[in-house]
Structure 1
Amino acid sequence: MSLLGGCAPPEPLRLGFIGGLTGRSADLAESGHKGALLAVEQANAAGGIGGRKIELVARDDGQNPAMAVRALEELAALRVEAVIGPLTSAMAVAVLPAAEKAGLVMVSPTVTASPLSGKDDQLFKVVSSTREHASHSAKYVYAQGARRVAAAYDLGNSAYTRAWLTDFREALVALGGEVVVDAAFTSGDDPSYRNAVNTLVTARPDAILLIANAVDTVRLLLIARKQGFAAKAIGVTWAATEQLIELGGRTVEGLILTQYFNRDDTSPRYQAFQATYRARFKEDPGFASIAAYDATRATLFAIGKRGKEPLKQALLTAGPYEGAQDIWNFDRFGDGQRKAYVTIVRDGRFVNVE
């Protein structure tokens, strides 16, 4: 019997993924997972990193803090190089202490809550904060004549929704407007939706602001329209998924949303990405898939370039990074700086207006 040495392939390089793959916000994580998977598949097709194939290991956080912490600890035990995710600010807040303890870098595609920005920690964020998106939204609706805005926000992702509300309020007040009333609701609780909408409509605002995921935005807006509220409605980036239009139909026509994805991008870079994504998943990419693709590519690039330095330092110095739409970078705190776009739902699609 002969012994063959050196024939076994090297152990794969593991990259974690954490997102709410089940529940009412699953569309966000499912889209993000596809973007991350495409980036991994492309890297493997190009030979991997240092001859090692990359394995994407996904865990569901269920939009539940305890579940999210368990997911992070499981991935740390598997010795993943880094984690792509989480995808919501509430889950980032929940898992950050565990990530700090494990020394595990998290690169989130879609976490934007401004209180999480400007911190020297293990959390990297690919896109700009709620301050950028909310202020952009406030300026646009103010220019469109909205002076009195009533807002509803989801308690289940309060790290994000409260930050969005605070940043929007500050920007609107600075312009001369006001948030006349705000109402919290609990996702999945129908009486909670109705109570929140009643509070908003009773205030007779120029516009309503719905700080919620796609499913809940449709539900809230449907209740408001049935009550006869015909004025402007504003959504947030969290809701700007393809599911919003699929579920909302005519109800979401005219909805104003600020997002960091240029859906009218005709650049060769984006057109190539879009064609590849369509061929792989039989659907168009959304904001979460693009952001996760960028997050994963940046992470893999930094891993390949880091040498002996910690990944956190490598991510801060290896850029600028080539994304699906643009060249971007992290600042010294690991916060991404990306342009915001105002879109309106028209004829069943997101249309850039600013």
Structure 2
Amino acid sequence: MTLRPWWGALLVSLLLGCTPDKPIRIGFIGGLSDRASDTGEAGRNGMALAVEQRNQAGGIHGRRIEIVVQDDAQDPAKALAAIHALVAAQVDAVVGPFTSSVAAVVVPVLNQARLTTISPTVTSGDFVGQDDYFIRVNRTTRDNAIDYARLLYQRGQRRVAAAYDARNASYSDSWRKEFRAAFTAQGGQLVAEVAFASQADTGFGDIVEKMLAAQPDGLLFIASAIDVGRLAQQAEKRAPHMPASASEWAASESLIELGGQAVEDLLIAQSYNRDDTSARYLGFHKAYLARFAREPGFSTIAAYDATTVLLQAMERQERGESVQQAILKYGPFQGLQQSIQFDRYGDTPRKVYFTEVHGGQFVLLK
């Protein structure tokens, strides 16, 4: 039988109407091959679990979600190439980045492309109060530094020496300056501020020597888990009874694995409650262990929350609304342990929990 032109066009239209809607594509950008890759890998896993669970529940209005992964390698040039690749792939939104230094590189590109991006862990004050396409589910360096300054002073520390990773300057500079201001206001003094660039051959013993030369009564490390572990090991050799603390950036499972006995009694804040016994968190924890055969970390929880916010906003998104508008409009969103509500700039508060390392475990302060 020969089809008339109009019948052929109708048949094509019907066939097209039967094809499934194209998937929603969400980009991921994080460090998967650098010295702080533990944060990026844990974040990627948290995002993957959130997406898998949503797909098992039917996706978003019947559309499946796909993840497009890009490694920023904690390197400005690679981060720029990675974000351009996500823009070229025409993803619908992005989860990441996980460090403030990478955010400083990629956010201008994202804003130019009008691509909504939600970061699980970026805290630098450089990104607070900005009317742009960059959303954060974490609190700020100011919030964290003020809490640390208050707690260290309460514990009797008056002269604190800090070492900080200048490679993530947007974060470490902001954190250090906020801590200095808050600690000074308490009556304390930041007696040393030792910069270093995180590399395999970094002389961590020399860094600790410079910190101790200022005769502090406490050490503060503003760095990733791998570097805090090595700094703590050098501090244990030179000043074994000196109180030490580390910024929340290092609060991953790798800290204990790499630091060993040297990180015992280390004070560090967590962005989630590891002892949570709620059904929601226990269900997540069980699913994560079954899927990845390891404990979730702070970036896992943050990425799971960030992805959950994004998917909930997309589900509620109305015709003509951008993803960014939906995130700002349709909150609060239910995270694993707390409700997440954004202000007009895409900023949100987040509760933290101070812990100490005891017996190779993060133990909540009572």
TM-score (norm 1): 0.97
Q: 1:204-223, aligned counterparts within 5 Å? A: 204-223=215-234
Q: Which amino acid aligns with 2:357?
A: V
Matched, 1:155 2:160: no
1:174 maps to which of 152, 165, 185: 185
Deviation at 1:180, TM superposition (A): 0.6
CA gap of 1:225–1:99, structure 2 versus 1, over 3 A, is same
Counterpart residue number, 1:253: 264
**TM-superposed deviation, 1:265:** 1.1
Task: Give yes or no for contact 1:88–1:157 (8 Å, CA) kept in 2.
Answer: yes
Structure 2 partner of 1:346? 358
Partner residue of 1:317 out of 324, 329, 337: 329
Q: How do 1:124-163 residues align onto structure 2 when only pairs under 5 Å count?
A: 124-163=135-174
State yes or no: 1:234 paired with 2:232.
no
Whole-angstrom distance in 2 between the partners of 1:178 and 1:305: 49
The whole-number CA distance in structure 1 between the counterparts of 2:360 and 2:232 is: 16
Which has the higher Rg, Structure 1 or Structure 2?
A: 2
Question: Are 2:112 and 1:101 equivalent residues in the alignment?
Answer: yes
Q: Which residue of the partner structure matches residue 302 of structure 1?
A: 313
Q: Give the CA deviation at 1:193.
A: 2.4
Structure 2 residue 24 is the aligned partner of structure 1 residue 5: no
The whole-number CA distance in structure 1 between the counterparts of 2:213 and 2:242 is 13
The AA in structure 2 aligned to 1:353 is L
Structure 1 CA distance for aligned equivalents of residues 186 and 277 of structure 2 = 34
**Which shows bigger deviation, 190-199 or 175-184?**
190-199
Please identify runs of 4+ aligned residues in structure 1 that moved more than 3 A: 1-4, 189-192
Pair 1:164-2:164 in alignment: no
Q: What is the Cα deviation at residue 275 of structure 1?
A: 1.3
Who is 2:79 aligned against?
Answer: 68
Paired with 2:269 and 2:145, the residues of 1 have a C-alpha distance of 8
Q: Does 1:265 align with 2:276?
A: yes
1:196 aligns with 2:200: no
Q: Note if contact 1:236-1:259 (Cα within 8 Å) is conserved in structure 2.
A: no
Q: What amino acid maps onto 1:43 in structure 2?
A: R
CA deviation after TM superposition for structure 1 residue 56, in Å: 0.8
Structure 2 Cα separation of the partners of residues 343 and 162 of structure 1: 23
Go from structure 1 to structure 2 and tell me whether the alpha carbon gap of 1:260 and 1:191 turns closer, same or farther (over 3 Å shift).
closer
**Cα displacement (A) at 1:189:** 5.2
Paired residue for 2:134, among 120, 123, 127?
A: 123
Query: Which of 325, 334, 349 is the aligned partner of 2:346?
Result: 334
Q: How far apart are the structure 2 equivalents of 1:247 and 1:221?
A: 10
Q: Aligned partner of 2:313: which letter?
A: A
Count of residue pairs brought into register by the alignment = 354
Deviation (angstroms), 1:171: 1.1
In 2, Cα distance between the equivalents of 1:191 and 1:267? 42
Paired amino acid for 2:155: Q
Q: Which amino acid aligns with 1:332?
A: R
Q: Residues of 2 paired with 1:168 and 1:46: CA distance?
A: 44
Identity of aligned residues (%): 46
1:205-263 CA-to-partner distances (Å, cap 9, x unmatched) read 01011000000001111112112342111101110100001111111001101121111
Superposed CA offset, 1:27-65 (max 9, x none): 000000010001100111111112111001110000011
Unpaired runs of at least 5, structure 2? 2-10
Q: Secondary structure at the match of 2:110?
A: helix
Question: What is the deviation of 1:157?
Answer: 0.5
Moved more, 284-293 or 274-283: 274-283
Q: Does 1:184 align with 2:195?
A: yes
**Letter in structure 2 aligned against 1:140:** L
Alpha-carbon separation, structure 2, partners of 1:148 and 1:188: 28
Distance 1:77 1:190 in 2: 36
For residue 5 of structure 1, give the secondary structure of its aligned residue in structure 2. helix
Q: What is the CA deviation profile of residues 284-315 of structure 1, one whole-angstrom value per residue up to 9, with x for unaligned ones?
A: 21110010000001011111211121111111
CA distance in 1, matches of 2:245, 2:312: 37
Counterparts in 2 of 1:217 and 1:313: CA distance versus 1, 3 Å: same
SS in 1 for 2:269: strand
Distance 2:133 2:76 in 1: 18
Amino acid at match of 2:302: A
- 5+ residue gaps in structure 1? none
- Rounded Cα–Cα distance in structure 2 between residues aligned with 1:192 and 1:313: 47
**1:132–1:340 Cα contact (<8 Å) kept:** no
Deviation at 1:271, TM superposition (A): 1.3
**TM-align CA RMSD:** 1.5
